[in-house]
Amino acid sequence: MNKLLLHPATKPVLFLLALLPFAQLLWGAIANTLGANPAEALIRGTGDWVLRFLCITLAITPLREISGWSALARLRRMTGLYAFFYAVLHFLCYAWLDMGLVLDDIVRDIPKRPFVLVGTLALLLMTPLAATSFNRAIKALGAARWKMLHKLVYAIVLLGLLHFFWMRAGKNDFAEWSIYALFVALLLGWRLRKLAGRVFIKRARTPADAR
């Protein structure tokens, strides 16, 4: 599997696969096959893929460590950038299809509706992560500061879940949200368990008189 993941074609294939949802939504808008409410379908569809790519990005490290497929790490940056790509599309669909691209209305609407405010905050937090996703930024920031900055992804995915929860609250339909929430809880729980294990080992190795 590592050999397959290291193949030069792997990244281009992933790039094209990640574009398929965008192509499907775009074609649906052009062909008018998005149902009775195309605007809602576009906003909802792009939002769904933000959460999906965030979940995929967070799942790469546990899957890599459990399976031994170390080459998965080279795909994490692309999946994170696609989460940002769909987040930008999600906001643009809201700004255009919901608000008619009227800036004053958008600025007034964001703080008025909590789920819009939370979603906008998540997008703002994603922006520095996307802007520092290239090697030169890592060198400029230093590995430690870069890693600390990119821990914002945990806050972002939680904000994304809250955004989706408030969106579904109006219809009292939390079935799909619960699936995302469970998956994110498992991913974050795995990280917390690993962190607790490191702390325990560190304390066990520290002499009692040095504590």
For the segment 141-181, what is each residue's pLDDT rounded down to a tens digit? Answer: 998 999 999 999 999 999 999 999 998 887 788 899 999 99
Does the pLDDT value for residue 198 go beyond 80? no
Place of tokens 């974050």: 188
- How many domains does the chain fold into? 1
Banded pLDDT at 138 (limits 50, 70, 90):
confident
Mean pLDDT of 189-206: 75
What's residue 193's pLDDT?
87
CA–CA distance, 117 with 159 (Å, rounded to integer): 10
Query: Does residue 121 lie within any of the structural domains?
Result: yes
Query: Does residue 64 lie within any of the structural domains?
Result: yes
Query: Does residue 211 lie within any of the structural domains?
Result: no
What's residue 171's pLDDT?
78
CA–CA distance, 55 with 83 (Å, rounded to integer): 9
Q: Which domain holds residue 162?
A: 2-206
CA–CA distance, 73 with 94 (Å, rounded to integer): 33
Residue 51 and residue 180 in contact, taking contact as beta carbons nearer than 8 Å? yes
**What is the pLDDT of the chain when averaged over all its residues?**
91
What's residue 88's pLDDT?
98
Query: Does residue 50 lie within any of the structural domains?
Result: yes
178 contacts: CB under 8 Å, gap ≥ 6: none
Residue 165 and residue 179 in contact, taking contact as beta carbons nearer than 8 Å? no
